[in-house]
């Protein structure tokens, strides 16, 4: 299900003194099975952008085409798009509402009009995907769970719809490191099933770890686009936009600045480890 965004512009409260341009002429495409990371400073238009991808808001101008369907066209049936593009909002645990975890996860699939057995299968599968012990939580109220568990229930609620494109807005915000790792691991597992993912994040580490390609937004405009290696190579530009590079990249660059033989464009911990071993480990010249 390819997604294509062309010259997308969105202005909130048009024609009023509160008018604010959230997006300006943004164009990009998402291939099938790709993992796109979207980064940008607060207020750069990330959230506005992803809400366009399943038709929750309509473009002021420009087009969004999902699987050949033009979402800016008023006659397009957006529900058809929404069942194939899943969106996990920021702090999704605040949308939980049902009496039991099971019912809450089943809300999406039931809205798709699936029969009872299929809904049940999907709920159980989604629970397994987010590593919630189904038997133990199925009849609990979602409001009794811990913060990390609530979030996993909320994500499971979207996964149970089995969307071909999954969009996540800051899925790890406000979680402790263990919770964060759990969420990232489940996103990775979902992606390994060959599904397309778009993830918005503040954390350069998270994006570096998972994304195939990164889109950088700055004040509603597309500032950079490329592989993590390409994007993180331009640390200066990212810092100008109030962003940063992953800690691994920062360390590598510092070392390189001080004359050590470490590549400047690495961005994962694994790469850093390898480079450090080469430079400082056995047979290395530096020590």
Partner 1 sequence: MLKDITLGQFYPGDSLVHRLDPRVKLVLMVVYIAMVFLVEGFLGYLFLAAFLAVSAFLSRIRIKFLLRSIRPVLFIVVFTFVLNILFTRGDHPILEWGVLHITWEGVRFAVFMSLRLVFLLAGTSLLTLTTSPIALTDALERLLKPLNALHFPVHEMAMMMTIALRFIPTLLEETDKIMKAQTARGADFDTGNLLQRAKAMVPLLVPLFVGAFRRADELAMAMEARCYHGGRHRTRMKVLRVSRADGWACGATAATLLLILLERLL
Cα separation, 30 vs 100, in Å, equals 36
Q: Which one of 44, 51, 102, 201 is in contact with partner 1 (CB under 8 A)?
A: 51
Nearest distance, CB of residue 96 and partner 1, angstroms:
7
Cα separation, 26 vs 222, in Å, equals 6
User: Which C-beta is closer to partner 1: that of 58 or that of 221?
Assistant: 58
Q: Which one of 63, 95, 100, 256 is in contact with partner 1 (CB under 8 A)?
A: 95
Nearest distance, CB of residue 207 and partner 1, angstroms:
22
Cα separation, 250 vs 227, in Å, equals 17
Cα separation, 129 vs 277, in Å, equals 36
Does the protein bind partner 1 through residue 79 (CB under 8 A)? Answer: yes
Number of amino acids touching partner 1 (CB under 8 A):
25
Does the protein bind partner 1 through residue 45 (CB under 8 A)? Answer: no
Per CB under 8 A, which of residues 97..126 are in contact with partner 1?
A: 97, 107-108, 111-112
- In degrees and rounded to multiples of 5, residue 269 shows phi and psi of -60, -35
User: Which C-beta is closer to partner 1: that of 142 or that of 228?
Assistant: 142
Cross-strand bridge partners of residue 217: 40, 222
Nearest distance, CB of residue 11 and partner 1, angstroms:
13
> For the stretch 42-52, what's the b/e string if a residue is b when 16 or more beta carbons lie within 10 angstroms of its beta carbon?
eebbbbbbbbb
Of the candidates 3, 33, 39, the residue with the CA atom closest to the CA atom of residue 191: 33
> Which stretches of the chain bind partner 1, using CB under 8 A?
13, 16-17, 51, 54, 56, 79, 82-83, 86-87, 89, 92, 94-97, 107-108, 111-112, 143, 157-158, 161
């Amino acid at each position: 299900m390819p997604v294509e965004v062309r010259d997308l512009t969105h202005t909130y409260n048009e024609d009023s003194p509160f008018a604010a341009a959230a997006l300006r002429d943004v164009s990009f495409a998402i291939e099938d099975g790709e993992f796109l990371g979207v980064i940008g400073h607060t207020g750069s238009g990330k959230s506005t952008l992803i809400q366009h991808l399943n038709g929750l808001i309509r473009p002021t101008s420009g087009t969004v085409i999902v699987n050949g369907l033009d979402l800016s066209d008023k006659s397009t049936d957006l529900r058809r798009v929404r069942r194939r593009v899943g969106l996990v909002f920021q702090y999704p645990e605040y949308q939980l509402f049902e009496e039991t975890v099971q019912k809450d996860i089943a809300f999406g699939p039931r809205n798709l009009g699936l029969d009872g057995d299929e809904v049940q299968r999907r709920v159980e599968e989604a629970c397994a995907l987010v590593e919630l012990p189904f038997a133990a939580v199925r009849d609990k109220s979602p409001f009794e769970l811990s913060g990390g568990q609530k979030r996993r229930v909320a994500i499971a609620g979207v996964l149970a719809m089995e969307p071909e494109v999954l969009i996540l807005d800051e899925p790890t915000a406000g979680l402790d490191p263990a919770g964060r790792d759990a969420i990232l691991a489940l996103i990775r597992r979902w992606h390994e099933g060959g599904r397309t993912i778009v993830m918005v994040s503040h954390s350069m580490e998270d994006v570096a770890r998972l994304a195939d390609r990164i889109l950088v937004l700055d004040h509603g405009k597309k500032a950079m686009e490329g592989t993590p290696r390409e994007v993180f190579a331009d640390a200066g530009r990212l810092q100008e936009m109030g962003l940063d590079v992953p800690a691994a990249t920062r360390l590598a660059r510092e070392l390189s600045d001080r004359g050590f033989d470490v590549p400047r464009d690495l961005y994962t911990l694994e790469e850093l480890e390898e480079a450090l071993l080469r430079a400082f480990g056995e047979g290395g010249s530096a020590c």
